[in-house]
């Protein structure tokens, strides 16, 4: 449905009822649960390799030192502690898939609640079956991303009411703090929220982010900068193409396409904003800015020049983060964007096409990933980055 202003101009999608939210969640739950079960049956007994194997070999069983020592510039205290109590490969994969299902359903509920049933489901469906980010759906250690995204969404939902209660403040403080202790994704969600608070002049809500910021900075000063950091921070002009490739790849990836398609989609969006003279909502600006900052920081910390690493910005793990963070910003800001009456139907058609492409991509990836030790070794994975082989 379309809501209208007093002058009769179309504005936001009308807020959904509880029944709409329930329908939306069920519609998303059916395919995402089927996908999760299929992945689990395929990979439950596959060896863990890559960063996950490094965590098992070097960080488990956990000690205070291994919990707080940075891993690829992240504070991964929460996922490492979680892995310490998960008994084997199957349990670790199951935890990842459960986290993704929870994230997909929570995002769907939030989208439907904010922008209505059809547009909410249309936006959530390709994210739930994000085949271009198959790495984050198959590799168990990638749980370090859905955990802070789930917590970030909780903080976002608790931040919406302007009338603050101690319960809402506590939810924001805890969610952002635990998210930041899970991976750096939590930091960038906190940055987006802080920027949104400033733009909206919600000055007192900025204080709700301070406990997590102070705790993380204390960790960085005392441990983080002397852990796996090499002491280098080299922002340069190569950060510009890195940021552009990262953002456009994230947008294109949601549609099952590459960064060129994402660039076209973003260009069309900018053209529409200029043509319709749309005032971009502060939440959309805040989350988009946070994503750009995220890729800038990634570029500045990584060694090498443009040719050495800029294509890494198009990796599936970043498509996953970018897609969900953009959905969060869209859900917060969409009620302030003018809408055309044809938009829900158009969104649904595009969503179904994007989802079909993502499912096909996921199937292709799932059938090509190594399932045995022999295949892992044949792929040249070194001994310290594989387990049980």
pLDDT value of position 9:
35
Per-residue pLDDT of 194-222, as tens digits, reads: 999 999 999 999 999 999 999 999 999 88
Predicted confidence band at 111 (pLDDT cuts at 50, 70, 90)? very high
pLDDT value of position 97:
97
Predicted confidence band at 293 (pLDDT cuts at 50, 70, 90)? very high
5 against 199, higher pLDDT: 199
Per-residue pLDDT of 330-380, as tens digits, reads: 998 877 666 667 788 888 999 999 999 999 999 998 888 877 788 878 878
244 within some domain: yes
282 within some domain: yes
* Residue 367 CA: distances (Å) to CA of 18, 50, 140: 39, 18, 17
Query: Are residues 22 and 124 located together in one domain of the fold?
Result: yes
pLDDT value of position 307:
42
Query: Count of alpha carbons within 13 Å of 244, Cβ hemisphere only?
Result: 11
Residue 288, pLDDT > 50, answer yes
Residue 149, pLDDT > 80, answer yes
pLDDT value of position 381:
82
226 against 262, higher pLDDT: 262
Query: Are residues 115 and 46 located together in one domain of the fold?
Result: yes
Query: Are residues 311 and 354 located together in one domain of the fold?
Result: no
Q: Which domain holds residue 34?
A: 12-144+340-389
pLDDT value of position 305:
43
193 within some domain: no
295 within some domain: yes
Burial of residue 300, with CB atoms counted within 10 A of its CB: 0-12 exposed, 13-18 middle, 19 or more buried? middle
Residue 171, pLDDT > 50, answer yes
Tokens standing for residue 376 = 């892992």
Average pLDDT over every residue of 28-47: 94
21 within some domain: yes
Query: Are residues 317 and 241 located together in one domain of the fold?
Result: yes
pLDDT value of position 251:
94
0.85 exceeded by pTM: yes
pLDDT value of position 336:
64
Residue 17, pLDDT > 90, answer no
pLDDT value of position 157:
95
Query: Are residues 356 and 269 located together in one domain of the fold?
Result: no
How far, in Å, CA of 133 to CA of 144, rounded?
A: 14
**In this predicted structure, which of 144-153, 229-238, 348-357 has the lowest mean pLDDT?**
229-238
How far, in Å, CA of 330 to CA of 110, rounded?
A: 11
How far, in Å, CA of 311 to CA of 298, rounded?
A: 12
Predicted confidence band at 168 (pLDDT cuts at 50, 70, 90)? very high
170 within some domain: no
Mean pLDDT of the chain: 87
- 154 sits in which H/E element: helix 146-159
Q: Domain count of the chain?
A: 2
- Hey, which of 236-245, 278-287, 309-318 has the most confident mean pLDDT? 278-287
């Amino acid at each position: 449905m379309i809501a209208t202003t007093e002058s009769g101009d179309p504005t936001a999608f009308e807020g959904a009822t509880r029944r709409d939210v329930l329908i939306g969640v069920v519609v998303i739950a059916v395919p995402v649960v089927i996908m999760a079960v299929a992945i689990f049956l395929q990979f439950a007994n596959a060896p863990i390799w890559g960063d996950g194997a490094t965590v098992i070999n070097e960080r488990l069983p956990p000690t205070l030192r291994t919990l707080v020592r940075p891993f690829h510039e992240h504070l991964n205290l929460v996922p490492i502690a979680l892995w310490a109590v998960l008994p084997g490969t199957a349990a670790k994969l199951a935890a990842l898939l459960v986290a993704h299902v929870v994230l997909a359903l929570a995002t769907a509920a939030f989208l439907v609640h904010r922008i209505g049933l059809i547009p909410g489901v249309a936006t959530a469906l390709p994210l739930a079956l994000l085949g271009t980010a198959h790495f984050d759906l198959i590799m168990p250690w990638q749980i370090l991303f859905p955990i802070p995204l789930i917590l970030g969404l909780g903080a976002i939902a608790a931040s919406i009411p302007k009338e603050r209660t101690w319960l809402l403040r506590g939810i924001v403080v805890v969610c952002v703090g635990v998210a930041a202790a899970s991976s750096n994704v939590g930091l960038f969600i906190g940055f987006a929220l802080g920027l949104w608070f400033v733009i909206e002049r919600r000055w007192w809500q900025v204080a709700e982010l301070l406990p997590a910021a102070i705790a993380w900075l204390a960790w960085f000063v005392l441990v983080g900068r002397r852990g796996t950091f090499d002491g280098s921070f080299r922002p340069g002009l190569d950060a510009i193409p890195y940021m552009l490739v990262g953002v456009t790849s994230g947008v294109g990836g949601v549609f099952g396409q590459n960064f060129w398609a994402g660039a076209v989609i973003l260009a069309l969006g900018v053209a529409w904003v200029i043509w319709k003279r749309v005032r971009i909502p502060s939440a959309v600006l805040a989350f988009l800015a946070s994503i750009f900052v995220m890729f800038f920081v990634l570029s500045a910390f990584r060694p090498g020049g443009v040719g050495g690493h800029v294509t890494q910005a198009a990796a599936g793990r970043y498509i996953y983060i970018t897609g969900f963070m953009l959905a969060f910003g869209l859900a917060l800001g969409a009620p302030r964007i003018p809408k055309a009456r044809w938009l829900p139907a158009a969104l649904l058609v595009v969503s179904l096409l994007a989802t079909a492409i993502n499912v096909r991509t996921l199937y292709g990836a799932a059938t090509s990933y190594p399932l045995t030790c022999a295949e892992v070794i044949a792929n040249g994975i070194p001994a310290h980055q594989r387990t049980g082989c």
